[in-house]
Each structure stands twice: as C-alpha cells, then as structure tokens.
Amino acid sequence: MRLLHTSDWHLGRTLHGVNLHEAQSAVLEHICELVEDPRDGVPVDAVLIAGDVYDRGVPPVESVRLFESTLRRLAESTTVIVTSGNHDSAIRLGYGAGLFRENIQMITDLSRLDLPVLLEGSDGVRAAIYGIPYLDPDHARVALARGEVLPRSHQAVMGAACQRIRDDLAGRAGVRSVVLAHAFVAGAEPSDSERSIAVGGVDRVTAAVFHGIDYAALGHLHGPQAPECAARSLVCYSGSPLRYSFSEQAHTKVVLLVDVPEAGPVTAMPVPIAQPRPMATLRGAVDVLMQDPTMIMHEESWVRITVTDRARPDSLMDRLTSRFPHVLQVFHEPEGAIDRGRGGTTVVSERDPRELGSDFIAYVTKTEPSGGEMEVFAAGYEAAEIAERLGESEGAA
C-alpha cells in the first residue's frame, strides 16, 4: 500500500507580509501531479493530511477555494484523509464531513478517532487508518476520559487516544495500522513557525504513545523528521511543504511516500518540493553587504539582514532593497554595542507570547521576571487562548 503523507499546509499564511497563495497553489499542484502521475508507477492509495490545513480558524476565501479544488482533484484518483491541527477550527474544517463522498474523509471530531477508514491498497494490503484531530488537553481530558477526568497534559490525552485505537485494532486481524496525529513528539526539532501548544508549560508527548501502531503520520512540526520511536513503529513528520520562517531556511521541504507492506516495517521516502525562492540570513556592515560579490547568490532570495554599522545608515531600506529586492526583515545591531538582552525590542509574530511577556516585564521593571510573575502571565495567556477557541467553536460571535 502506498500513502502520501503531508501536513501543515497553513493555507492563508503570509511570510513577513508576503502573500504565499501562489506558492501554496504551486505546491498543491505538485502534490496532485504526484498522485495523478506517480513517477515510479505505484498508485497512491491515499493522501494523508495531518492537520493545519489552514493557518487560522477563519481562512481567506482564496484559501478555501484552493483547498476545495485540491480535494476535488485528489478525490478523482485516490482517497483523502484529513485531520484538524491546532491552527484549524475543527468545526469549520469539518464542515461537510457527513456529506462528502466515501473517499473524502474529514476527521475533526474526537468521537471518530477510533473509527478507522478501512482501506485496501492496489496491491491487496489492508490497513486501518485512524485520524486523531488536534487534541486540546482541556477539552480532550474530559471527552476521552473513561471514568475519571484525565490529567491536564498532551501526554495523557494522546496516550488515551492511542489506547482507544489499540483497543479497536485488537479486534481486527490481518490489517496494518496507520494513525494521523497532530502533536509535538519529544526529541523532534521545532522551528519558529509553529504556534506553541504548551499546557501547563509542557508541549510534548513521548514517541512511545504510538507503540503498536505501524505508522504514525504526524503534523505540527514544520521540519521533516523521524523521531526515535518504540520498536516496530515508524513515526514521521512530513513537515510543511513550504518554508514559513527563516529558521527553516536550510530545510529541504518534502512530502513522504509511505510504503506499507503486507508484513514487516513501513518505509517513508521523501519527495522534495520546490520552493518559490531560496532564503538566507545575512549580516555585516552595509557597504560590505552592498559590494561583496559573494552576495550575488542571495539577490533573488528572501533575506533577513542584520546591519552592524555603528550608526544606523541613512536610507538603509532603500539601499538594501536596491540589491536585495526580496528583503523581508532588517535589524540594526551596532557592532560592539552592549547586549540589550534576548531579542532586543524586536517583536515578530513567531515568538512565543510568554517569552515576549517575559521580555516586557524585564523591560518595564528592569529586572528578570520572577517565577511567580511568569506563572501568572502564562496562565492568563492560556486562559485567553482557551476563551478565543471556545468563542470560535460555539460561534458566539
């Protein structure tokens, strides 16, 4: 059985103000082509999209259109299984789940997580494919409890979800098992473009929660990787198909072609996805940046530039854009200046609000925030996030 695993499309996302709709359209076109015309002739039995289809709960109209046309096109030739991520509104993404044809499976409702999609590959291999929507511990610890409410942690709720899946699997002989999940597995590498899902300060689950499952198709982290796992399970992140932050400038973005044999280990083969532009981080005095011949290779890239001149150079932005028209961020850090502390006064959307809050407290009070202050700030932030999500899911507005 051949599966195509992808995640974290983040349709509607911008990159420091640059609209990525065209780049996202090109990526989805590429994915459709991989399905319609597989390079090695092996048909793709299902496309798995492990959460964060959209960048936010209420995505732009052009993103909704792009997702619909992609779904329709993929469903012409394969089965598509989609779960919701922490950026998606589960209810909005799941609209139509009960209406779509058999080969479009939108799994955004916790009550469905142990009801698998039963698939038979073109090679006769059978698999039970389970989708775990993003589990918000505050909600899932009640929804997934058998009796007592579960501890308030990702580990507890993901563990309970996987246990339900293993219970269901126990009654199914001769099928391979695949799980889609949206989680931060310990040992894996984050980047700057994931929104924190920490609850009570902890965001991770151990890879061992997936034991007994042949393949865990993960979403959430934007770099492709296969964290260490319990024996005989393969746990992989496909990563996002586009770079969504400078911290990803060295990533090779991919989708994974996953082969599930009748018996024996599952394998995942990365297929590189072309990026609209390279990315680079440059640093130096402005005259050097403007004249250095080795910088030619970055002239068409998306760049972030740190200028190190003692005084901020005149018409800095104009000068830089004349050589680097796709410059997205400019910082000024005079060489030899005293360190003003982590991050300086730069506020970028990728930074964890708790970290920003800590900087703010330090800035206002001129002292490091105490543990107690940070706890109050983190609790307030989490409460605001929960309130926002509830407002969204209940359609209060």
The binding site for Mn ion (CB under 5 A) comprises 8, 52
Shortest distance in whole angstroms from residue 198 CB to Mn ion: 15
| Beta-ladder partners of 216 | 179, 235
User: What's the CA gap between 20 and 55, in Å, rounded?
Assistant: 11
Distance of closest approach, residue 9 Cβ to Mn ion, in angstroms? 9
Distances 354 to 77, 377, 381 between C-alpha atoms, Å: 45, 7, 7
Find all residues with CB under 8 Å of 8, minimum gap 6, and list them: 50, 51, 52, 85, 219, 220, 222, 238, 239, 240, 241
Instruction: Indicate the residue among 53 and 280 with the shorter CB distance to Mn ion.
Output: 53
Q: Which is nearer to Mn ion, 121 or 131 (CB)?
A: 131
> Which residue's beta carbon is nearest to the bound Mn ion?
52
Cβ closest to Mn ion, residue 196 vs residue 393 = 196
Between 52 and 136, whose beta carbon lies closer to Mn ion? Answer: 52
Residue 34 contacts residue 77 (beta carbons within 8 Å):
no
Minimal distance in Å, beta carbon 146 to Mn ion? 30
Instruction: Give the Cα separation of 219 and 210 in Å (integer).
Output: 14
In this structure, is the dihedral angle defined by the CA atoms of residues 131, 134, 137 and 141, taken in order, positive or negative? negative
Residues 6+ apart with CB under 8 A from 207: 185, 186, 187, 227, 228, 229, 230, 233, 235
Task: Tell the smallest beta-carbon distance from residue 343 to Mn ion (Å).
Answer: 22
The phi, psi pair for 4, rounded to 5°, reads -110, 120
Residue 97, classified by CB atoms within 10 Å of its CB into exposed (0-12), middle (13-18) or buried (19+), is middle
52 or 214: CB nearest Mn ion: 52
Least separation in angstroms between residue 86's CB and Mn ion is 7
Q: Name the residue nearer to Mn ion (CB basis): 233 or 240.
A: 240
**Centroid of chain to Cα 26:** 18
Residue closer to Mn ion (CB basis): 8 or 136 = 8
Nearer to Mn ion, 8 or 385 (CB): 8
Tokens at residue 42, please? 């092996």
- What is the nearest approach in angstroms of Mn ion to the Cβ of residue 381? 19
Give how far the C-alpha of residue 337 lies from the chain's centroid of Cα atoms, to the nearest Å. Answer: 37
Cα distance between residue 22 and residue 314, in whole Å: 34
Q: How far is the CB of 55 from Mn ion (least distance, A)?
A: 8
Min dist CB 159 to Mn ion, Å, is: 22
Question: What length is written for the chain?
Answer: 397
Q: Which is nearer to Mn ion, 7 or 155 (CB)?
A: 7
CA 261 from centre of chain: 27
Please, which residue, 94 or 239, has the CB nearer to Mn ion?
239
List the structure tokens of 377: 């700030």
Q: Name all contacts of 270-276 with Cβ < 8 Å and 24+ positions apart.
A: 270/224, 271/34, 273/27, 273/30, 273/241, 273/242, 274/26, 274/30, 275/23, 275/242, 275/243, 276/20, 276/22, 276/23, 276/26, 276/242
Q: How far is the CB of 107 from Mn ion (least distance, A)?
A: 17
Min separation Cβ 367 and Mn ion, Å:
35
DSSP 345: T
